[in-house]
Structure 1
Amino acid sequence: MNKMAALLSGALLLGLFPALVAPTPAAAATSSPFTVDVSNLYRPVTHVASGSLYGLAEEGRPADDLIAPTHPKMFTQMAPDGQQLPNGETKPIGDALKVAPIAKRNGAEVTIRMPDIYPDFPYKWVSWDDWYAKVDKMVKARLDSGADNVYGYELWNEPDWTWDTNKAGAFNDGWTKTYNRIRTLDPDTKTIGPSISKYDSNFIKSFLTNARDTNTLPDIISWHELDGPKPIADHIANYRAIEKELGISPRPISINEYSTPAEEAVPGDLSQYIAQFERSGVDTATIAFWYRPGRLSNLITANGEKNGGWWLYKWYGDMNGQMAMTTPGNSSNLDGVASVNNDKNQVYTIFGGGNGNQNVVIKGLNALSGFSGTANVKLESTPWYGVDTAVSEPTTVFTGNVAIQNGQIVIPVTDMKASYGYRLTVTPGAQSDVTRYEAEKADVQQASVLSSDHASSNSYVGRIDNPDSYVQFTVNAPAAGNYNLTVGYANGGSSTSQQALSVNGAEATTLNYPATGGWLDSTDGSAVQQQIALKQGSNTIRFTKAGSGYAELDYVQLQQLGSFKQRVEAEDAKITGARVVNGSYASNGKFVGNIDNSDSSVAFTVNAPAAGTYKMDIGYANGTNATSTHTLTINGQSQDAVSYPTTGGWTANVPNFGTRQIVTVSVNLKQGENTIVLGKGNGYAELDYIEVYP
């Protein structure tokens, strides 16, 4: 789909004013977790959803080292000698036969989208003689090319709205004529259709009935999924029922355009599409083309670098062996796919779409090789900072050893962001290099180890109720320095509870545990975070009863902070007189807009490791015609105003299309917690995030 012109026409009006898009409420915690059943291996790994529309432009665009790791199966590309001008191009680009060698050496096939031989979109029909001449030209070029990786001819694109019935007659008759014309010249290359813009059972049934009766059935059935992932499984089930009703043998399904403009390349969104395609048995699927050719449908930045979405597809490309059945959380968008390697001693799970604290359950491990007693798990995340923000590598969230009980493990995932993607790697046996420690394996005094399906490793420590009760973890730090400590807990009381936290016997600090709505025997837990300093080597972290209330402990998790850099999303700050707005070009898919009144402000909290001068990047958009400003206050002290040059539009005018920019200022911070407030100044500007570093 090539609709940038239509999107931009709306943006010209919206660009005069701040965005007025309503935010989407945060997803609630799941009442049942995302589940992987590794005893149910349902199909070989073929990376069905790893292709893209117009993802290849020409040699070197994109580079092979960006294509190959995603293990693409199929690309949908322009017709031979097509005259389309893909968005932003001054010449036709992406000819299927010219890029077929690129696809082949990277393990992929190409679909020839025949109507893209026309120069315009929507297509402008000339005559049947003209169309027949074009078909003859394209088929001859395909045969002369000798390419052996052509997936098929896509006879038309989105005929439900681009076929000119007045001039060309009914589409079903046009399909029959075109199909027969192709078959007189090429009896072997597969045909693909009808490629409607959205699933329509009446259209499909009429099309298949005509194709059956005229002996022109497509070899591959296709349509587009551009309205979100939720209906996909129902669409495929409905299609299979139509096949059966009409007595047609099952066709491979190609969803050769998927995702909305706002979802394109966003890991948390695309993981849900991949899950639907894999579980439903789709043969191929290609991400839609909304913005720029030659960028794997925006998995690559404008500068040819990997962004957060690329890493999700790289993880997908890493899968091998057999796909394992997954079940999404039943009250969340959390979904994904899993695979078991051929040796049956490694499980990969990629997932996303969940928000906050979620659980992942992997069951059926007793059906695999070597999984008994303990499994080692590694969790990684890939962020969404916007399509043109490079991500050099994923973040390792934690590694840990988890007890296997009744053939399954439970892994809490803390502080998920719905736009991020996640990968969980599970292998047999315990490893010594871990950053996540289970409470039941700690030194437990005057407290009880208890069991629950809601707890990490199915166990936790409760009844930490007495003055002499404690849970002491012995942890290993690879280097001396500051670490982020995540504490998994439950507080089934009605108010905040406290415990004392002591590191290596030093003076204790107080940890506050907000209520979680239940104890771990009946509901999922939550987590709190605290920065601590560790020495290199062995350290002790002790939790004791303190203050009011009660809390249960599930696990602790360490993440080395390394060189200081703190990124704070504007939507996570304290917002006054403004509001959170969805926008896929924004970091984490959200930003703060309507900072329009004299009392409007966004207050960020930053914890600095030492007093001194720092740089602060501010992600912003200014859709006015002149420089705008925000007031800047640090710890109550007024600073020079921050100036925002115009960016050519507001963040959400056109999703994924680059109106956010960055301005950098110097700030003086004290050691510890700092409050940085940006408020309404002259003109208008939207805020995406701040990032503070030395």
Structure 2
Amino acid sequence: MKKRAALLSGTLLLGMVPALFAPAPVSAASPSPFTVDVSNAYRPVTHVASGSLYGLAEEGRPANDLIAPTHPKMFTQMAPGGQQLPNGETKPVGDALKVAPIAKRNGAEVTIRMPDIYPDFPYKWVSWDDWYGKVDQIVKARLDSGADNIYGYEIWNEPDGTWDTNKAGSFNEGWEKTYLRIKQQDTTTKIIGPSITHYNEGWLKDFLTYARDHHVLPDIISWHELGAPEGYYVDGPAPQYISSHISAYRALEKQLGISPRLISINEYGVISEQAVPGNMTRYIAQFERSGVDTANIAFWFRPGRLSNLVTANGEKNGAWWLYKWYGDMSGQMIMTTPPNPQALDLDGIASVNDSKQQVDVVFGGGTGNHTIVIKSLNALSAFSGTASVKLESTPWYGVDTPVSEPTTVFTGNVAIQNGQITIPVTDMKPSSGYHVTITPGAQSDITRYEAEKANVQGASVLSSNHASSSSYVGRIDHPDSYVEFTVNAPAAGNYNLTVGYANGGSSTSQQSLSVNGAEATTLNYPATGGWLDAADGAAIQQQIALKEGSNTIRLTKAGSGYAELDYIQLQQLGSFKQRVEAEDAKVQGARIVNSSFASNDRFVGNIDNNDSSVTFSVYAPAAGTYKMDVGYANGTNATSTHTLTINGQAQDAVSYPTTGGWTANVPNFGTRQIVTVSVNLKQGDNTIVLGKGNGYAELDYIEVY
């Protein structure tokens, strides 16, 4: 599919978590863990899902240094001599043979999509003589090119929706005619098909039966995975059903007596989740575990962008880093088991490289707290006692918002217990992607500190599979009970402190927090539904100031109730900058909408009535004048406005020039843009309200700095 699109642009928030200036409880839900089994290798690393449809446009678009790190396996591109003008292009781009050298130098093959020689989509059938002429032209060009990285000829694209039966006859007969025409001239290049819009077993059975009986079976079987209800490309993602589709197809092959074909899912991902890291991991995991040969990210927007991994200005966005992590994998794929295999939830992939003695895990799609369990680490000779763990994350701020590097969430040493380690990941965002690197031995630049390794007074070190590193501190029951951590700060400044804990009581418990012996602050621990001996914990966050070098962080029993401590985690904060997504604000008289072209995969639209408003809470470290970026879309043909109120005081209206389209229109060639205004804030919490003014505008986020 193609020619259905939207565009966003914005600014950058690098390597930071939102500055949290008061304890913020993370969801206390305790889902089943996401499990990686190092001993269960199921296929070599080939990066099956790293390619894209129309991902290459021409030399330099995208640049080689953007292509190579993703280790693409296959691109699907327009037939040579094609006249497609995809999504507003002024000249044909992505000719398969013209970009084949680009693909080859980056280790990839190319599929020739034959019907894209036509200028229109859906295709307009002319005649059989015309089609035969085009087939001959394509095959001759392919043979004359001498290209040795052609994956195959894709005879037709989405015949269940684009084949003109009235003019061309039945597709099965048309397939046979085209197949034989190709094979008369080229007996070597593989033939791919039928490339239907979605897995349709009845349709495939009819096609394969005909192809078997007429000796024109495709060398590579293909279909698209574009959501549910089946084939609905705008929304309704359902990658959790891909494995059942592939199992059903393999059963169909056996039923029909057909030898196993390579499987190419040459378009995947619905518009609402296009390139969003947390969503893409679900597809990749299904393709890897199910044994497909190749898979291409669908094309909904602009060619030459690796299907939305690259911004309009040729920069890396948040999705690019996910595919770079995937591209970095080497060795063998190892089995992963998601907590909810039949749901749109956390999923991912993992690999092990025996020569490097390294395990890599790429995952996403989860919300809140999750636990990653790495089993059978003792299958690797270099692992003994302690594993070094690094966790990174990559955000989704929209297709045209660059992200220069991923965020290091933590680095730490985790004890290996019974051959496995347990890694808690807190406050996951469903649109973000995550990467864990596990190597042998200990590291010195840790940012996660285990409670059982701290100075424990008046409490007990206990064991549990629900705890980070399988141990925690409990029975912190007396006024003089405390756990004191000695931490190292690379520089003086503000840090985000995450405290992993459990509170199995029925109400909030307290501890006091003291940094370097200074006056204590009270931390509140909401109930988690169980103690760590029987259930996963949760986490709260608090900003603290540290000096360069060694610091002490003491947590002491205080107030009523009880809490157990699992770990603390530190993340350095840069200069003040706070981003608040509109969908996370208080929304009144408007609607939260899913869109892959919005930051964090959602925005607020239908701010249409006089009482419509979006209320943001922003903390300012000091009173003064700040800049505020507002991400918005204005699909009208004139400037629109929102009223602006700060701490109850009316300000000048915010004006939004037209952007050429709305955020989630299909097709949409507008752009999400930003306006920057000055705002006067008081120290501490501030309330910023944007309400309906003149005209109409959608809100994506605000960022104050």
- Shared fold (TM-score, shorter chain, > 0.5): yes
Indicate the SS of the match to 1:545. Answer: strand
Q: CA, structure 1 residues 264+504, in 2 after alignment: closer, same or farther (shift >3 Å)?
A: same
Deviations along 1:487-544, whole A, 9 cap, x unmatched? 1112222222211100011000011112222222222221111110001111111111
Alpha-carbon deviation of 1:202?
A: 1.2
Q: 1:388 and 2:400 equivalent?
A: yes
1:435 to 447, 450, 466: 447
246-255 vs 670-679, which moves further: 670-679
| TM-score normalised to structure 2 length | 0.93
Alpha-carbon deviation of 1:646?
A: 2.8
Q: 1:168 and 2:168 equivalent?
A: yes
Alpha-carbon deviation of 1:151?
A: 0.4
- Provide the rounded CA distance (Å) in 2 between the counterparts of 1:578 and 1:545: 44
595-604 vs 429-438, which moves further: 595-604
- Provide the rounded CA distance (Å) in 1 between the counterparts of 2:586 and 2:484: 35
- Provide the rounded CA distance (Å) in 1 between the counterparts of 2:669 and 2:364: 23
1:249 to 247, 254, 259: 259
Contact 2:635 2:670 in 1 (8 A): no
- Provide the rounded CA distance (Å) in 2 between the counterparts of 1:87 and 1:28: 45
Indicate the SS of the match to 2:92. Answer: coil
Deviations along 1:204-261, whole A, 9 cap, x unmatched? 1122222222221111111111113111101100110011112211111000011001
Q: Which residue of 2 aligns with 1:273?
A: 283
Indicate the SS of the match to 2:139. Answer: helix
Amino acid at match of 1:365: L
Deviations along 1:411-460, whole A, 9 cap, x unmatched? 11111110111101111111111111111111111112222222111111
- Provide the rounded CA distance (Å) in 2 between the counterparts of 1:38 and 1:405: 15
Q: Which residue of 2 aligns with 1:96?
A: 96
2:508 to 489, 493, 496: 496
Q: Which residue of 1 aligns with 2:315?
A: 305
Q: Which residue of 1 aligns with 2:134?
A: 134
Q: CA, structure 1 residues 91+680, in 2 after alignment: closer, same or farther (shift >3 Å)?
A: closer
664-673 vs 557-566, which moves further: 664-673
Amino acid at match of 2:295: A
Q: Which residue of 1 aligns with 2:530?
A: 518
Q: CA, structure 1 residues 657+460, in 2 after alignment: closer, same or farther (shift >3 Å)?
A: farther
Q: How does 1:43-122 map to 2 (within 5 A)?
A: 43-122=43-122
Contact 1:262 1:655 in 2 (8 A): no
348-357 vs 26-35, which moves further: 26-35
Q: CA RMSD in A?
A: 1.9
Contact 2:644 2:653 in 1 (8 A): yes
- Provide the rounded CA distance (Å) in 1 between the counterparts of 2:670 and 2:512: 47
Q: CA, structure 1 residues 501+30, in 2 after alignment: closer, same or farther (shift >3 Å)?
A: closer
Contact 1:100 1:110 in 2 (8 A): yes
Q: CA, structure 1 residues 408+389, in 2 after alignment: closer, same or farther (shift >3 Å)?
A: same
Q: How many residues align?
A: 675
Alpha-carbon deviation of 1:655?
A: 8.1
Q: 1:319 and 2:329 equivalent?
A: yes
Alpha-carbon deviation of 1:124?
A: 1.6
235-244 vs 588-597, which moves further: 588-597
Amino acid at match of 1:81: G
Q: CA, structure 1 residues 596+91, in 2 after alignment: closer, same or farther (shift >3 Å)?
A: closer
Indicate the SS of the match to 2:88. Answer: coil
Please, which runs of 5 or more residues in structure 2 have no aligned partner?
Answer: 8-25, 228-236
Alpha-carbon deviation of 1:374?
A: 0.9
Contact 1:344 1:368 in 2 (8 A): no
Q: CA, structure 1 residues 686+126, in 2 after alignment: closer, same or farther (shift >3 Å)?
A: closer
Contact 2:662 2:668 in 1 (8 A): no
1:261 to 245, 267, 271: 271
2:306 to 296, 316, 321: 296
Contact 2:28 2:537 in 1 (8 A): no
1:612 to 624, 638, 658: 624
656-665 vs 450-459, which moves further: 656-665
Q: Which residue of 2 aligns with 1:645?
A: 657
Q: CA, structure 1 residues 594+491, in 2 after alignment: closer, same or farther (shift >3 Å)?
A: farther
Contact 1:28 1:355 in 2 (8 A): no
Alpha-carbon deviation of 1:293?
A: 0.8
Deviations along 1:41-60, whole A, 9 cap, x unmatched? 11110011011111111111
Deviations along 1:587-627, whole A, 9 cap, x unmatched? 10112234444444333233333333221111122334433
Q: Which residue of 2 aligns with 1:543?
A: 555
Q: 1:670 and 2:682 equivalent?
A: yes
Q: CA, structure 1 residues 412+655, in 2 after alignment: closer, same or farther (shift >3 Å)?
A: farther
Q: CA, structure 1 residues 457+656, in 2 after alignment: closer, same or farther (shift >3 Å)?
A: farther
Deviations along 1:8-60, whole A, 9 cap, x unmatched? 9xxxxxxxxxxxxxxxxx99946211111111011110011011111111111
- Provide the rounded CA distance (Å) in 2 between the counterparts of 1:573 and 1:197: 38
Q: Which residue of 2 aligns with 1:603?
A: 615
Indicate the SS of the match to 1:262. Answer: helix
- Provide the rounded CA distance (Å) in 1 between the counterparts of 2:284 and 2:400: 23
- Provide the rounded CA distance (Å) in 1 between the counterparts of 2:567 and 2:528: 16
| TM-score normalised to structure 1 length | 0.94
Q: How does 1:471-490 map to 2 (within 5 A)?
A: 471-490=483-502
Q: 1:337 and 2:337 equivalent?
A: no
- Provide the rounded CA distance (Å) in 2 between the counterparts of 1:543 and 1:152: 63
Amino acid at match of 1:50: S
Amino acid at match of 2:35: T
383-392 vs 666-675, which moves further: 666-675
Amino acid at match of 1:246: L
- Provide the rounded CA distance (Å) in 2 between the counterparts of 1:401 and 1:658: 47
- Provide the rounded CA distance (Å) in 2 between the counterparts of 1:534 and 1:408: 33
Contact 2:27 2:369 in 1 (8 A): no
Please, which runs of 5 or more residues in structure 1 have no aligned partner?
Answer: 9-25
Alpha-carbon deviation of 1:332?
A: 5.6
Contact 2:57 2:99 in 1 (8 A): yes
Q: Which residue of 1 aligns with 2:699?
A: 687
Q: Which residue of 1 aligns with 2:240?
A: 230
Q: How does 1:127-206 map to 2 (within 5 A)?
A: 127-206=127-206
- Provide the rounded CA distance (Å) in 2 between the counterparts of 1:379 and 1:67: 24
- Provide the rounded CA distance (Å) in 1 between the counterparts of 2:193 and 2:667: 29
Deviations along 1:445-477, whole A, 9 cap, x unmatched? 111222222211111112212101111111000
Indicate the SS of the match to 1:500. Answer: strand
Indicate the SS of the match to 1:175. Answer: helix
Alpha-carbon deviation of 1:285?
A: 0.5
Q: CA, structure 1 residues 373+658, in 2 after alignment: closer, same or farther (shift >3 Å)?
A: farther
Q: CA, structure 1 residues 332+522, in 2 after alignment: closer, same or farther (shift >3 Å)?
A: farther
2:411 to 385, 399, 406: 399
Q: CA, structure 1 residues 332+546, in 2 after alignment: closer, same or farther (shift >3 Å)?
A: farther
Alpha-carbon deviation of 1:344?
A: 5.2
Contact 2:661 2:668 in 1 (8 A): no
Indicate the SS of the match to 2:271. Answer: coil
436-445 vs 633-642, which moves further: 633-642
- Provide the rounded CA distance (Å) in 2 between the counterparts of 1:464 and 1:589: 41
- Provide the rounded CA distance (Å) in 2 between the counterparts of 1:484 and 1:360: 22
Amino acid at match of 2:602: K
- Provide the rounded CA distance (Å) in 2 between the counterparts of 1:121 and 1:581: 28
Amino acid at match of 2:502: A
**Higher RCO structure, 1 or 2 (CA under 8 Å, sep 6+):** 2
Alpha-carbon deviation of 1:583?
A: 2.1
Indicate the SS of the match to 1:350. Answer: strand
Indicate the SS of the match to 2:650. Answer: strand
Contact 2:647 2:688 in 1 (8 A): yes
